[in-house]
Amino acid sequence: MSEEKKTAPLVFPYFNRELSWLAFNQRVLDQATSAEYPLLERMKFLAFVSSNLDEFFEIRVSGLMQQVTSGMNEAGPDGLGPKEQLQRIRQVVKRLIVDQTTCWENQLVPALTESRILFCGYDELTRNEKRWLRQYFEEQIFPVLTPLAIDPAHPFPQLTNKALYILASIDDPQTRIIESMMAIIPVPRILPRTVKIGVPRRGNPEVYIFLSDIVQHYAKHLFPGYRVRSAAPFRITRNSDLYIDEEEVVNLLRKIEEELMNLQKGAAVRLEIAQGADPVLLEQLLQALDLQPDNVYTIAGPINPLRLMSTYNLIDRPDLKFPPQIPHIPALLETPERIFEHISKQDILLHHPYDSFQPFIDFLNQAACDPQVFAIKQTLYRTSGDSPIVEALMEASRRGKQVTVLIEIKARFDEANNIQWARQLEDVGVHVVYGLVGLKTHCKTCMVVRRENNGLKRYVHLGTGNYNPKTARLYTDLSLFTAAPAITSEVAGLFNTLTGFSLTPVFKKLYVAPFTLHSKIQKHIKTETRNARAGKPARIIVQTNSLVDKQTIDHLYQASQAGVKIDLIVRGICNLVPQVKGVSDNIHVRSILGRYLEHSRIFYFENSGGAQPRILAGSADWMPRNFFRRIEAVFPVQAPEHRQRLIYILETYLKDSKHARILHSNGSYHRPRNTTSSTPFSAQETFATESNHTRSPFVTQLQEASISPPHSANNSDRPTP
């Protein structure tokens, strides 16, 4: 009987999506604890953990709580229903918070102190610093604070999502009875969350104190004549998912604006509160928020370490940060005036951030001012606050060109920004559209139509990342410039689908969701399966952010059982369970987290018997939402030198032994073991070093089909019995 248990396949060979995401966030936290990174970069990773958790509770946890409230208890592919998921999530998150606090207090703060950067509580300040802080409080903070008493004459206030508050327990010293009157002090978001003390200390260290500590200490000055028995910072997280029936909406833009206002009143899903809060007031606070005690997360360290992100920018210590990476600009793109000439002759592939994103901005700027350009069409999902891309599109419209921009105003947490861009563009005559009903437009596409000697010619940019110059310096992504008619004509058809009506658009070269992407990916996996069964070489390599789609996972399992060698480079959520005997023996999964956020999507299929391997890139992760609820564009990479480059990129990721973590069948992630070199190898550092050379940043000697034998670097990473 025991032998059967060891060899029987899993009943549900899938990891839970939410727990897999939390495992990813644990890997982010691991970066904060790693001595391999500069100190202030570790502090940023700690901030990322909080930002990620905020979004997780606003969207994923709130959705599970709604399912429980509505009586839904349907189990997912992993066998867990919403109640069980919430229970496990709370256990994992509470451990994660403890680890986060331990990292801050026991590792980062002491290391920062050694580097003469001090984060102090009020009692740790010198007399001169306390005197300076008192004046700072009276001049900069006190005038904008508004304490709110909670009693029959003052009803409980509407608390803003993720805002900082102080819960104060107030007592009248003139009465014999010890009271616990509630007061809430909202801390305005306009105030800096970290304050640098403005008087010198011996040794000239930089001294910082958190705003919450300041208000907490001086809370007694806000209630003259009363005694403040306790004061505890807290914040709440609310359900922030938009619920809009697009088919019933007359004006989508206006409806989303209304919903953004309503989000501030969404149901509370989490309360974070510092230690030391009055238990009587805490119970009253939970009643007012309609929250259960299970939804309380008591914080021993600072509330919301996300505030450290602004502190990173405040501290001018280049020696404690990553050295600047100077992106490479290919020689063909160094002269913007000739950009159309060069794209007309050959496709150009860029690997960001090692290659600069500036050529795309030059591409748009040149299109805006070129008198031969008649039209520009572009999708915008997320962009930066001072976007040169939006400015170029506006300038093109001012110059009389036909400019059409598809702005996705349902892009989560960027709705307000995108509405602002939409209105600015419309003000200068840009034709702004919002995509198809029920679908988010997530593809990264831009098309320029130019009149040349032989008539109108299209120039296209396709990418894996957002049109955002700031994140293009932080995320790894791919950009393809092409004038190949087979591709540009289909991009034109894609834009016509987005702006007009088309129930059955035809795409032969592009893989477009929700029309053809999912079915074609399944077809390619099945082809590898058939080839393996026929004794032919069969190989699949995928780089993606997330792997969730059940049908795709099932087909990968079947491919593995047929003998297909499969390497998956999945940064975040992975529901597939690798290395299960009889199910996924031939599947290896790794996650890479480093200086840059791995964001590229690259798909390699050996295609034995075909003319050459299939190599694809695009905007889509392998999730149901990307396959069926979004407009996505995946494109074939056809030029031999670009195919070589993507093979080299994938090979390099598979060799990574420094930032890679191998996923085991029990859900744990571990460093690769038994690597051939004693010096850890980093893919990101390799790409960065190569981009500083004048040659193209990939191995030019690599032959097209020379992808290395499968699993040569990680055969030993299978979990030991």
What b/e readout covers 302-334, taking b as 16+ CB neighbours within 10 angstroms? bbbbbbbbebbeebeeeebbeeebebbbeebbe
Show the DSSP H helices in 534-633 as ranges.
550-562, 624-628
Burial class (CB in 10 A: 0-12, 13-18, 19+), 181: middle
CA pair distance 560, 344, nearest whole angstrom: 42
- Bridge partners for 462 per DSSP: 445, 480
- The DSSP line for 656-688 is --SSEEEE-TTS-EE---S-S-SS---HHHHHH
- Whether 711 sits among the annotated catalytic residues: the reply is no
Which pairs with CB-CB distance under 8 Å and at least 24 residues apart come from 30-39? Answer: 30/593, 31/593, 32/100, 32/103, 32/107, 32/108, 33/103, 33/107, 36/658, 37/322, 37/595, 38/319, 38/320, 38/321, 38/322, 39/108, 39/111, 39/112, 39/115, 39/320
Q: Using CA atoms in the order 276, 278, 283, 288, what is the torsion angle rounded to 10 degrees? A: -100
Give, in order, the Cα–Cα distances in Å from 693 to each of 328, 688, 698.
Answer: 8, 9, 10
What is the enclosing helix (H) or strand (E) of 131?
helix 127-136
Show the DSSP H helices in 372-516 as ranges.
388-398, 415-427, 485-499
Are 88 and 80 contacting, i.e. CB atoms less than 8 angstroms apart? Answer: yes
Name the residue with tokens 């300076």. 132
Q: What is the DSSP letter of 518?
A: H
User: Phi and psi of 77, rounded to 5°?
Assistant: -60, -25
Q: Using CA atoms in the order 276, 279, 281, 287, what is the torsion angle rounded to 10 degrees? A: 130
* Bond prior to 9 in cis (omega within 30° of 0): no
What is the enclosing helix (H) or strand (E) of 42?
helix 39-55
CA pair distance 527, 515, nearest whole angstrom: 20
CA pair distance 368, 28, nearest whole angstrom: 41
CA pair distance 639, 486, nearest whole angstrom: 13
Are 406 and 421 contacting, i.e. CB atoms less than 8 angstroms apart? Answer: no
CA pair distance 309, 312, nearest whole angstrom: 5
CA pair distance 619, 478, nearest whole angstrom: 10
CA atoms within 13 A on the CB side of 256: 20
Q: What is the DSSP letter of 584?
A: S
Measuring CA to CA, which residue among 370, 369, 371, 391 is closest to residue 380?
391
Are 540 and 564 contacting, i.e. CB atoms less than 8 angstroms apart? Answer: yes
CA pair distance 413, 259, nearest whole angstrom: 12
Q: Which residues contact 226 (CB under 8 A, 6 or more apart)?
A: 170, 171, 172, 173, 181
Q: Which amino acid is at 418?
A: N
What b/e readout covers 67-95, taking b as 16+ CB neighbours within 10 angstroms? beeeeeeeebbbebebebbbeebbebbee
Are 639 and 346 contacting, i.e. CB atoms less than 8 angstroms apart? Answer: yes
Which of these is catalytic: 442, 555, 599, 659? 442
What is the enclosing helix (H) or strand (E) of 142?
none
Measuring CA to CA, which residue among 191, 183, 180 is closest to residue 213?
191
Measuring CA to CA, which residue among 482, 485, 714 is closest to residue 591?
714
Active site residues: 442
